[in-house]
A and B are shown apart, each in its own frame.
Chain A
């Protein structure tokens, strides 16, 4: 398989950018885990905070999605 240096860089960059999605997963896990820890201490207050939980997850996840988007752009648009 022949390839030029630009293609190597493209694939390497896409792989590196995809790492960002995995790191964002740490953030999402952190949000959900802390919510669960708090919810188990005070279960009666947990029900009202699910909206906050999803907003927090959404903000944490958006940045991971950005890096996924960069990977997609490198693979298919560059």
Chain B
């Protein structure tokens, strides 16, 4: 194997084994590997991979935050309790404002989604960690769960009148069938866009971080590249929060459609 030519700064796509530009490939960080065993071992549904590890760590962080935060229940909260109360109040207000007071019974589900995505996103920002939410397999399952919940709740709550969601009574009668087709398509595209938005944002952000890190190998521009990594890292912290927020608030919007389909 020839030494990777690390001085050109040219990105080459494809097989990382014959990298001509950077010594590592920006998409290598998203590879799913078995945690025990060598790279390239087959991955079955029960294999413990790095995705499993980082999702479990996210769950552990959420549990830790809330077990520690609610164990004292002091009048004057300590730091952990303040963070837990802040998160609780933030999501509670969100679902109350967007979906309405009668949707508060879905609060545990929405809160769980928010915290899991938030902590998975934040843990992924630790250098050399792994971001499970950059995989459509993970986010797709979350979005599909939301889609099924919304559809089932809509039909259970409203019966057949849930289909009124697709029959826009405020439009002239002539164009209602056309609108119904469009509404139907947009309803079924929801889980796709819901999942790809999260995964795509995370993938793009982490790939950009790695590309800038690769530029740091080129001596002439390395101070600039380090500055760039720092700036983009700050942006990624913001994106990690905003994407968790957006996923949650869209869940609230979809739940509103299920609970009140006629407005």
Residues of A that sit less than 8 Å from B by CB: 11, 21, 48, 51, 54-55, 57-58, 61-62, 65-66, 68-69, 72, 75-76
Residues of A contacting B62 in the complex (Cβ-Cβ under 8 angstroms): none
Q: Is the interface of B mostly helix, strand, loop or mixed?
A: helix
- B197 engages A54 (CB within 8 Å): no
Judge whether B197 and A65 touch: CB under 8 Å. Answer: yes
Residues of chain B whose beta carbon lies under 8 Å from any beta carbon of chain A: 13-14, 27, 94, 97-98, 193, 196-197, 200-201, 203-204, 242, 245-246, 249-250, 253
Contact status of A55 and B204, CB under 8 A, knowing A62-B193, A75-B13: no
A-B contact pairs, 8 of them (CB 8 A): A48-B97, A54-B242, A55-B249, A58-B197, A58-B246, A62-B197, A75-B13, A76-B14
Residue of A nearest to B189 (CB): A62
In the A-B complex, list the 8 residue pairs whose CB atoms are closest, starting with the nearest. Answer: A65-B200, A58-B246, A62-B193, A62-B197, A75-B13, A54-B246, A65-B197, A69-B200
CA of A66 to CA of B245 in the docked complex: distance in angstroms? 20
Of chain A, the residue at the smallest CB distance from B93 is A51
State in angstroms the CA–CA spacing of A76 and B30 once bound together.
12
Given contacts A65-B204, A76-B27, contact A55 B250 (CB under 8 A): yes
Closest to B245 in A: A54
Q: B249: which A residues are within 8 A, CB to CB?
A: 51, 54-55, 58
Chain B proximity of A74: nearest CB distance (Å): 9
Smallest distance from the beta carbon of B124 to chain A beta carbons, Å?
17
> A62 to chain B: which residues have CB within 8 Å?
193, 196-197
Chain B residue nearest in CB terms to A57:
B246
Given A51-B94, A51-B249, A55-B249, A72:B197 Cβ within 8 A: no
For A48, what are the chain B residues with a Cβ–Cβ distance below 8 Å? 97
Q: Quick one: closest A residue to B136, CB to CB?
A: A69
Residues of A within 8 A of B197 (CB): 58, 61-62, 65
Q: How far is the CA of A65 from the CA of B136 in the complex (A)?
A: 13
Nearest residue, chain B, Cβ from A72:
B203
What residues of B have a CB within 8 angstroms of the CB of A75 in the complex?
13-14
Measured in the bound complex, the distance between the Cα atoms of B203 and A14 in whole Å is: 16
Cα A21 to Cα B245 in complex, Å, equals: 21
A61 to chain B, nearest CB (A): 7
Q: How far, in angstroms, from A67 to B55 measured CA to CA in the complex?
A: 28
